[in-house]
Structures are given as C-alpha cells and as structure tokens.
A and B are shown apart, each in its own frame.
Chain A
C-alpha cells in the first residue's frame, strides 16, 4: 500500500476533469457551490477581487475557515499557500485539505524558489502562463496546472492568452527534431525529459484547468473550447448578482461547452456578472500573473 504516489496525486486531478472548482469564503458559500454541482471548492479568506481591492500582503487563510468548509461539504476542499511558503503548505496538509494551490493570487513568500512539492503527500496545483512555467512546476512536483490568467479581474483575455500560448507551444514542440529539442529545453528553461514527453505525447503530463478571469457561462465554455480540462471560478460566482444561478449555469456550460443553445438557455436572466477590470488599466505592479515564473 503506497500513499502520495504520482498516480494517486495526478489521478485526483483527472477526476476533476470537465468540472468547475469554485472559490468560497465560508461554509454557507461552500454549500451553495456543492449544491450547484462544483467538483471541488477552494477555501479562502478573500476572493481575488477583494484581495486586489484590499492591497497589502495576502496570506494563507485562517485555518478556521478551511476547517469549517471541510466540515460541511463532501467534495474535495482545496486551499492556497503563498508561492515558496513551505510552512503554509505543511500547515494546510496537516489540516487535511485535498489539494494545495501554490498561488500567485497570494503575495509570494519567496521571489526565487517554489515549494518542493514532490515530498508532500497532498497534491499541488500551480498556475502557468507558458510551457516553460508549466513544465518547471511539474518538475517541482505539481500534479495539476491551471492558467494564471489575471485573477480577480473578471476579464477572460489573459486566461485565453495563456491557454493559447501553451497549446501553441506544445504544437511547436511536437514538430521539433531531436537536436532542436535540446536547444528548446534550454530556451524554455525546462528539463529535457519533460520536454521530450510533450514532444512524443503532444500534451502535458498533468491536467490543465483554466483560471483567472472566468465570469460567465460563456467564458467557461470558451476555455473548454480552447482545450482546458476544466475551470476554476474565483470571484466570478460570489461577486455576481446571483451566485446560485451563476454557479449552476457555469457548471452546465462547462459540461456542454459545444451545445450553444444550452449555453444560451442557462445564460438567460442571470443578473449582472462581477464588475470587470480592463487589463490595460491595471498597473504592471498589480499584475498577479508576473509572480512566480
């Protein structure tokens, strides 16, 4: 009997495929998310748009919130640790969370190194905006990836850019010759073996979700259309006018992302989605996607 094997950790993410993982800030929201059909919840003290608004240093949530959420739902519970914050991750593991997001949404604790995730029994998800970041996180032991997008903006453009970039880079790598692959590994700053795997399989070795800017059912379906395995929705649900309706509609649109009549139907009378931010209005220093490369 072996726990924490790569198959067990990556397999857990495989079971989330085609699903929606929702940010929640308390037990009540967690129940709303579960009832709407979320495949997991991310327990947080503040959703990204509030983190953005509040400024200052964003840290791991109070364990009380995480435990409270774990108590009321039967679906997996994820929680965020700061990039490079080994101890926050160990604390979350000790609480028994099912997945840790080493997340750029929180203020990084280490501006060079990520957590060595291999040695944990609990699996990790990390953000990536290009193939180099994606494979570096996998090398460190991430069992699941997500696009970084630009969290808390309600603007899908960055998630789209990151998903397109990664799939485009994968297509390019597939067509490289062996000598070109050595050079590409050096250029991307990734281990050759992982790049060779991508060259041969034409895909990442772990599940890759969309995250960072999903605000509507159509946004979720668009990311599935672009090749995402599933969707994280952060501020998009509980910052909308009617969280329950948005949550249910986003779940259905993710499952049936090619059924446009269905998406039209579930998009009716939802009320206002979260208020978004135009990316060009965002100061460079406020961009979360530039954290943890």
Chain B
C-alpha cells in the first residue's frame, strides 16, 4: 500500500521511514497530482501556519477534501491534526475543516514544556511512547468522532471514519504501531472500492 506524506514542510522523512517499517511504501507528496497515486495521506508535524499557507497556495485544500471525500484515509499528526480540524481555538482560520473537532494550538505551553510519555491508545494493546512537541490538544469532538486516547483528561488521539488525528509524534520513535493502524485503514478503504 502506497501512503503519501504531505511534503510542504515538516518531519516528512520520519513518516516515510515509519510507514516502511509498518510494511507500506511511503512517498513524499509535493503536488496535488500525486494524490491520485496514493491510498492514504499523512499530514506531518511541522509548523501549521506554514503548512496551511503553502496548502492554500498550491491548491491542496480542495484537493485533500476531495481525496478524503472519496473515503481515502488521512492521518494528521501534531501540526497535521491542527490542519485537519473543523475549528481552531482563538481567532485562527481553520484549514481543511475535515474532522469534527475543535483544536487548541500550543496547548501544553512552549518548548520547555514539551515532553514524552506512555499512552494507552484504543486499538493498540500495550502502551505507546508518545513525544509531544509544542503540541496541540482536541478540546471538543462531534458525535461521529471516536476518542482513542486521552492524557490527563484531554483528548490526544481521535478517529472519525477515514480520518485519524493525534497530538504527538509517532514518527519520532521506532514504535510504528499507529502507522500500522493507519495502513490497515487504507487497506480497508481500498478493499471497499
């Protein structure tokens, strides 16, 4: 299964590596035309303001909405989760508005408050090491959204049908189970078509 990683800015190579470890093939996606060649898309960590601007500039907003509309899975990590959200806390413009959730940026504070910890994620049998870097949080979710993990009563992993989002960076560890989970989503989506 070929999975694209949006390569406008951010930690692209790490996701490509993790998808490879999970048994898929990861490719960097720089143009909207490339969306035709992939079965799932990862929106990586990076700076959401930068990624959002470049997405608008190169026509990725409509193209990814269409891609997700066809039932193909999209996985947003950290900045990618911000990009997926329907609403952002504060005055900020949302980007893709795909997932029914309200996300707060830099919700844990600045870099000195960044941390790593073990999380219990629904669908993954033993704790997952999660790296939070100036991480966002999910403040509210719609009724179609399934909460897969909370940390200190705040939502940090969620799924809505073919959309998956997490606050942290599964690509920065050698534990590729969340990528495996996403690959399975892509395989199931492909089987339906």
Interface residues of A (CB under 8 A from B): 1-5, 7-8, 11-12, 14-19, 34, 37-40, 74-76, 93, 96-99, 121-123, 251-252, 255-256
Contact = CB atoms under 8 A, between A and B. Distances in A.
A12 B114 contact: yes
B111 A39 contact: no
Interface residues of B, number: 38
Given A8-B116, A75-B47, A76-B134, A15 B111 contact: no
B9 A18 contact: yes
B169 to A, nearest CB: 6
Interface stretch (B49-57, B62-70, B140-148, B176-184): B49-57
A123 B134 CA distance: 13
A292 to B, nearest CB: 23
Given A74-B49, A255-B8, 6 more contacts: A12-B134, A18-B8, A19-B9, A19-B10, A19-B46, A38-B50
A144 B128 CA distance: 26
Contacts of B92: 74
Contact of A251 (B50, B106, B132, B169): B50
Contact of B7 (A1, A14, A16, A18): A18
A16 B115 CA distance: 17
Contacts, number: 112
Given A5-B116, A12-B111, A18-B12, A39 B133 contact: no
B57 A2 contact: no
B79 interface: yes
Nearest to B52: A37
A37 B172 contact: no
B133 A121 contact: no
B46 A39 contact: yes
B106 A37 contact: no
